C-alpha cells in the first residue's frame, strides 16, 4: 500500500492511500489529506489516481502549482509516481513511498529483494549467500518430502525456526471473517503469551514480509498484545496464493542482543514463498486424489449396478422355468377356474418378459407407438376378464364400442390396465352387475365402468401406476364409477418427465465431479448457476447447493435465491462453511450446511434428509389446509342452521294457515334441500380423509 508522509517540526506524519482518487488541498471536507493552515494551498490542490498498477499525480489548476522532484507537472495529464518521489504543493512538501515511510532498513525493514539483491558485493558476503542458499535448499527439500498438507504446514514452521535460529514460531491461518487462528506453534512457547495481532494485520494489509528489531518502538505496529510480548526482534511473512492471504509465518527472538538482518528477512521471505508453493501443490494433489477417488467410487457404483442388473436378469430367467411348468399343468384344469388361473399365469409371463427387457441396455431407447382400434381393445379386455367374471358369478354388460382408435405405446399397457380393474372385480359378490360404456372427451376416449355400491377405489401397485402413466392413461374414481382416459393419439400423450434439477452455485470446477456423482446417485440433473439467480421463469429445482468458499457475498447470494419465485420453497444447502456462520446463513434463508472436507456419501445423505423434511412440511401444510376447511364447514353449518330453522318454522305455520298455497310447498322443498346440503357440511367436518394410490387425499362423504 502506498503512503504519503510529511514533517511538521520534528514529527513525521503518514497517510495510507486507500482512496482513489486521493485529493490533497486545504479543505478537509473535500480532501483526503488536508492542511487548513497552509494559505498557499488551494481548496483542492492536486489529486493522486491509480491507473492499472501505476499511481499518477495531477495538478487541479491550483494557484501556486505542484512540482515533482523540483520540476513542474505535465499538463493536463500529470506524471507517474515512483517510490521516494518528492511533491511540493504551494510550499507543503510531501513524500510518496510504495511502502511504509521512515523505515531505516536495518532496525525496521520490509519489501526487501531476493537473496542476490540483499548480498553486498564483498568477498565475505559470498559465503553468507552460499550458506543461506544451502540452508534454503535443505529446508525446501525436507518440506517437499512431506506428502500430507498438514505435515507440510508443520514442517514449514519447524524448518523456518531452525533456519533462522528463532526462539518461537507460529503458523496462523486467516479466517474468512477477518480474524486469525493459530494452527501450529513451536519453540519456547509460554502459556498465555502469543503474538501480536497488529503485526499480522499489517502484514495482511501490506502483502509484505516485515522485520522489526525493536517491536515496541516500531511505528507500524501497536496495541496491548505487542506491549505484553517483550520480544527483542521478530520476522513475519504472509503466505499468499493467487493474491489471497492464506496465513502468515511468525518468528521472534526474546533477546534484544540477537537482531535479525535484512538478509535473514530475505531468506525468510524466500522460504515462505517456497513453502506457499509447496503447500499449494499439496492441496492441488489432495484435490486431484479426492476427484480420482470420487471417479473411482462412481465407477464402483456403476459396476455394482450392472452386477445387480445381471443378477436381476438371472433371477427372472430362473423364475420363468417353473412358471412355464405351471402353465403346462394349468392347461389341464377344467372350467372357469382353470381359465382364470391361465390368465393370471399369462400375465405373470408378461411381467417377467417386461422385467427382463427393462434390464437390457437398449431398454432406455424410446419405443414408438401405434393406433389401436377401440373394438379390438374391448375384445381383448373382455377376453381377459371373462374367466374372472364367470368365477365370481357376476355380469359385465358392454356397450357397443365407437368407431375410432386409441394410441397404444410400446410396453405391457393392456396387462396393466386389466390388472387395475381385476382388483375391483375380486371384491364383487355373486349376482352383482357391472356396466361398461364408452364416452369421449377432447383428445381422449373414456371407458366408464359402473360398479355396485360398497366398493372402494382401486389400489394399484407401483409397477401398474408407472406403466399407465408412461402410456398417458389417466383414471378417476367418482360416484362408484371408474373412468379410464385413453389418449386418441400421440398429441395427447404427456411430455416425457425430466429429472429433477440439482442447482450448484460454485466457481470451483473440482466440485463438479463430486456433485455429478451425487446427482446420478439421486436421479437428479446437475445444473450450474451463478451467484445471482437468472430471471424467471425457471424450471423447478429440487435442491440448491451454494459453495461458501470463494464467495465474499454469501449471505447476499442466499437471500437473492430465496427471494426468487423459483427457489422460494427449495431447500438450500450451503457447503464448505464454518459453524460460526451457521446462524447468519440460516437467517439469510439457508436450510442446512456442511463443513469443509465432506465426502459424497455425507452430501447424498444430507440431501435425502432435506427431501424428507420438505415432504413432511408439504404434508403438514396440506393437513393444516384440510383442517381449516373442516372448521369452515362446521362454522357454515352452524350459521346456516339458525336462519334455516326459523324459515322452516314460519313456512310450516303459513302452510297451516294457507294450505292451498302451492308456493309454500315449493319453499318447503327448497328448505329440505338446503338442510340436506348442511348435512353434507357436517360429514365434511366429521369424516376422516381417505388416501388413494395416485397420492391424493379426499374427504369421502358417502
Q: At residue 253, what are phi and psi to the nearest 5 degrees?
A: -125, 140
What radius of gyration do the chain's Cα atoms show? 42
> Last residue of some domain: 492, 523, 540?
492
Same domain, 83 and 184: no
pLDDT tens digits, 514-538: 777 777 777 788 888 888 888 776 7
> Last residue of some domain: 256, 287, 318?
287
Same domain, 23 and 113: no
The per-residue pLDDT for 46 is: 92
Report how far residue 459's alpha carbon sits from residue 473's, in angstroms, rounded to the nearest whole number.
16
| pLDDT winner (highest mean) among 48-62, 229-243, 336-350 | 48-62
The separation between CA 549 and the C-alpha centre of its own chain, rounded to angstroms, equals 12
In this structure, is residue 61 part of a structural domain? Answer: yes
Whole-number average pLDDT of the chain:
77
The 3-state DSSP composition of the chain as helix, strand, coil percent (nearest 5) reads 45, 25, 30
Same domain, 480 and 509: no
Same domain, 416 and 450: yes
| CATH (domain of 464) | 3.30.565.10
Same domain, 427 and 569: no
Same domain, 349 and 446: yes
Report how far residue 60's alpha carbon sits from residue 42's, in angstroms, rounded to the nearest whole number.
9
Please answer whether residues 150 and 231 qualify as being in contact, where contact means their C-beta atoms are separated by less than 8 angstroms. no
Least confident of 326-330, 337-341, 577-581: 326-330
> How long is the chain?
702
- Specify burial of residue 214 (Cβ count, 10 A radius: 0-12, 13-18, 19+): middle
In this structure, is residue 537 part of a structural domain? Answer: yes
pLDDT tens digits, 418-463: 778 877 888 888 889 999 999 988 888 999 989 888 887 777 777 7
Q: pTM for the complete prediction? A: 0.44
The separation between CA 656 and the C-alpha centre of its own chain, rounded to angstroms, equals 75
Please answer whether residues 164 and 250 qualify as being in contact, where contact means their C-beta atoms are separated by less than 8 angstroms. no
Domain with 356, as residue range(s), is: 333-492
In this structure, is residue 30 part of a structural domain? Answer: yes
> Last residue of some domain: 52, 70, 97?
97
In this structure, is residue 567 part of a structural domain? Answer: yes
In the chain, the number of structural domains is 5
Match 360429514 to its residue by C-alpha cell: 683
Closest CA to 540 of 563, 559, 568: 568
Same domain, 71 and 114: no
Same domain, 123 and 253: yes
Judged against a pLDDT cut of 60, whether residue 195 lies above it is answered with yes
The per-residue pLDDT for 301 is: 67
The separation between CA 558 and the C-alpha centre of its own chain, rounded to angstroms, equals 10
In this structure, is residue 298 part of a structural domain? Answer: no
pLDDT tens digits, 634-676: 666 666 777 777 777 777 777 777 777 777 777 777 777 777 7
Same domain, 83 and 211: no
In this structure, is residue 292 part of a structural domain? Answer: no
In this structure, is residue 145 part of a structural domain? Answer: yes
Q: What is the mean pLDDT of residues 374-403?
A: 86
Number of Cβ atoms within 10 Å of the Cβ of 377: 20
In this structure, is residue 694 part of a structural domain? Answer: yes
Report how far residue 332's alpha carbon sits from residue 341's, in angstroms, rounded to the nearest whole number.
11
Same domain, 136 and 232: yes
Same domain, 87 and 142: no
Judged against a pLDDT cut of 80, whether residue 227 lies above it is answered with no
Judged against a pLDDT cut of 60, whether residue 684 lies above it is answered with no
| CATH (domain of 661) | 1.10.287
Same domain, 519 and 541: yes
* DSSP state, residue 263: H
Amino acid at each position: 500500500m502506498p503512503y504519503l508522509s510529511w514533517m511538521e517540526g520534528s514529527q513525521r506524519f503518514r497517510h495510507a492511500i486507500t482512496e482513489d482518487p486521493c485529493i490533497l488541498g486545504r479543505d478537509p471536507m473535500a480532501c483526503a489529506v488536508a492542511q487548513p493552515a497552509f494559505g498557499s494551498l488551494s481548496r483542492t490542490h492536486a489529486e493522486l489516481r491509480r491507473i492499472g498498477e501505476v499511481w499518477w499525480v495531477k495538478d487541479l489548476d491550483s494557484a501556486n502549482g505542484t512540482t515533482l522532484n523540483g520540476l513542474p507537472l505535465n499538463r493536463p495529464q500529470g506524471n507517474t509516481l515512483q517510490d521516494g518521489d518528492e511533491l511540493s504543493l504551494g510550499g507543503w512538501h510531501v513524500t510518496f513511498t510504495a511502502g511504509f515511510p521512515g523505515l531505516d532498513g536495518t532496525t525496521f525493514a520490509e519489501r526487501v529483494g531476493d537473496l542476490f539483491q540483499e548480498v553486498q558485493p564483498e568477498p565475505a558476503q559470498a559465503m553468507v549467500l552460499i550458506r543461506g542458499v544451502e540452508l534454503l535448499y535443505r529446508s525446501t527439500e525436507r518440506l517437499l518430502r512431506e506428502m500430507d498438507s498438514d505435515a507440510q504446514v508443520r514442517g514449514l514452521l519447524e524448518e523456518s525456526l531452525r533456519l533462522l535460529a528463532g526462539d518461537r514460531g507460529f503458523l496462523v491461518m486467516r479466517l474468512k471473517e477477518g480474524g486469525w487462528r493459530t494452527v501450529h506453534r513451536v519453540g519456547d512457547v509460554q502459556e498465555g503469551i502469543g503474538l501480536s495481532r497488529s503485526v499480522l494485520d499489517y502484514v495482511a494489509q501490506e502483502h509484505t514480509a516485515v522485520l522489526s528489531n525493536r517491536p515496541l518502538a516500531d511505528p507500524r505496529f501497536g496495541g496491548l498484545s505487542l506491549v505484553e510480548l517483550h520480544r527483542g526482534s521478530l520476522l513475519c511473512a504472509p503466505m499468499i496464493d493467487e493474491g489471497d492471504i492464506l496465513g502468515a509465518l511468525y518468528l521472534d527472538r526474546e533477546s534484544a542482543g540477537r537482531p535479525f538482518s535484512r538478509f535473514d528477512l530475505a531468506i525468510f521471505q524466500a522460504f515462505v514463498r517456497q513453502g506457499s508453493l509447496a503447500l499449494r501443490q499439496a492441496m492441488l494433489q489432495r484435490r486431484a486424489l479426492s476427484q480420482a477417488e470420487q471417479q473411482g467410487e462412481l465407477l464402483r457404483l456403476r459396476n455394482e449396478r450392472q452386477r445387480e442388473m445381471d443378477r436381476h436378469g438371472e433371477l427372472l430367467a430362473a423364475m420363468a422355468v417353473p412358471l412355464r411348468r405351471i402353465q403346462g399343468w394349468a392347461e389341464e384344469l377344467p372350467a372357469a377356474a382353470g381359465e382364470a388361473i391361465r390368465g393370471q399365469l399369462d400375465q405373470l409371463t408378461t411381467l417377467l418378459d417386461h422385467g427382463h427387457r427393462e434390464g437390457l441396455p437398449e431398454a432406455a431407447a424410446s419405443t414408438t407407438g401405434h393406433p389401436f382400434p377401440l373394438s379390438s381393445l374391448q375384445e381383448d379386455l373382455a377376453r381377459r376378464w371373462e374367466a374372472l367374471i364367470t368365477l365370481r358369478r357376476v355380469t359385465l354388460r358392454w356397450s357397443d364400442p365407437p368407431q375410432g382408435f386409441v394410441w397404444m405405446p410400446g410396453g405391457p399397457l393392456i396387462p396393466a390396465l386389466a390388472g387395475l380393474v381385476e382388483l375391483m372385480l375380486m371384491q364383487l359378490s355373486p349376482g352383482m352387475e357391472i356396466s361398461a360404456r364408452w364416452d369421449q372427451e377432447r383428445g381422449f376416449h373414456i371407458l366408464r365402468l359402473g360398479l355396485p355400491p360398497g366398493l372402494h377405489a382401486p389400489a394399484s401397485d407401483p409397477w401398474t401406476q408407472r406403466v399407465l402413466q408412461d402410456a398417458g392413461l389417466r383414471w378417476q374414481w367418482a360416484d362408484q364409477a371408474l373412468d379410464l382416459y385413453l389418449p386418441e393419439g400421440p398429441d395427447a400423450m404427456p411430455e416425457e418427465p425430466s429429472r429433477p434439477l440439482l442447482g450448484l452455485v460454485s466457481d470451483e470446477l473440482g466440485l463438479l465431479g463430486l456433485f455429478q456423482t451425487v446427482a446420478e446417485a439421486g436421479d437428479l440433473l446437475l445444473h450450474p448457476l451463478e451467484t445471482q439467480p437468472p430471471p424467471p421463469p425457471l424450471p423447478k429445482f429440487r435442491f440448491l447447493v451454494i459453495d461458501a468458499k470463494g464467495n465474499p457475498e454469501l449471505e447476499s447470494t442466499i437471500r437473492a435465491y430465496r427471494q426468487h419465485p423459483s427457489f422460494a420453497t427449495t431447500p438450500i444447502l450451503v457447503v464448505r462453511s464454518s459453524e460460526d456462520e451457521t446462524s447468519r446463513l440460516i437467517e439469510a434463508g439457508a436450510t442446512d450446511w456442511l463443513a469443509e472436507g465432506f465426502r459424497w456419501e455425507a452430501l447424498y445423505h444430507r440431501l435425502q434428509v432435506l427431501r424428507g423434511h420438505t415432504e413432511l412440511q408439504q404434508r403438514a401444510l396440506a393437513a393444516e389446509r384440510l383442517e381449516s376447511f373442516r372448521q369452515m364447514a362446521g362454522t357454515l353449518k352452524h350459521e346456516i342452521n339458525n336462519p334455516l330453522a326459523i324459515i322452516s318454522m314460519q313456512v310450516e305455520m303459513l302452510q297451516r294457515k294457507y294450505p292451498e298455497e302451492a308456493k309454500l310447498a315449493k319453499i318447503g322443498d327448497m328448505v329440505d334441500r338446503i338442510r340436506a346440503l348442511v348435512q353434507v357440511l357436517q360429514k365434511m367436518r366429521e369424516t376422516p380423509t381417505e388416501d388413494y394410490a395416485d397420492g391424493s387425499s379426499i374427504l369421502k362423504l358417502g
